[in-house]
Amino acid sequence: MNTLMNHILFLNNLEGFFFGSGKAHVVTGVSLIILAGIAFSMWRMDRRLTQLENEKNDTPS
């Protein structure tokens, strides 16, 4: 475990593990894109449901 950790941590001695290599920004970016995707699809679903509910309420069977 220690070897693995060191391998990752000190892969590039001059850069910090997390920030120097710019990986954190990639992870942040990908996470934000996924979040936006989820939010968008849920928003669309929400609107469609509202539409269907309104249709159902307008035409009583």
Partner 1 sequence: MRYWNSVWKMGGILLLAYVIVRGFGTPLQPGLVEANPSRLKPGLADLELKAVGQPFAEENAPIEGHQLILKSDQDLIATNLTRISPHSVQASVVIPDLLPSPALDAFLFTPSSGTLFLGNAFFVEGAGTGPVPQAFAATPPAEVDPNLGFSFPYQPNIIESIRNLLWHVPMWFAMFFVMGIGFVASLMQLRTDKADWDHRSEAAVRTGLVFGILGLITGSLWARWTWGAWWVSDPQLNGALVTVLLYTGYLLLRAAMGEDERVGRITAVYNVFAFVMLVILLMVLPRYTESLHPGKDGNPGFNSYDLDNSLRAVFYPAVIGWGALCYWMYTLRLRMNRLEYRLLNE
Sign of CA pseudo-dihedral 10, 16, 17, 20? negative
> Is 37:43 a contact under the CB 8 Å cutoff?
no
Six-digit token pair at 34?
């996924």
Within positions 30 to 49, which residues make up the interface with partner 1, using CB under 8 A?
Answer: 31-32, 35, 38-39, 42-43, 45-46, 49
Count of residues engaged in binding partner 1, rule: CB under 8 A: 30
Position among 21, 24, 37, 54 found at the interface with partner 1 (CB under 8 A) = 24
Position among 11, 21, 22, 27 found at the interface with partner 1 (CB under 8 A) = 27
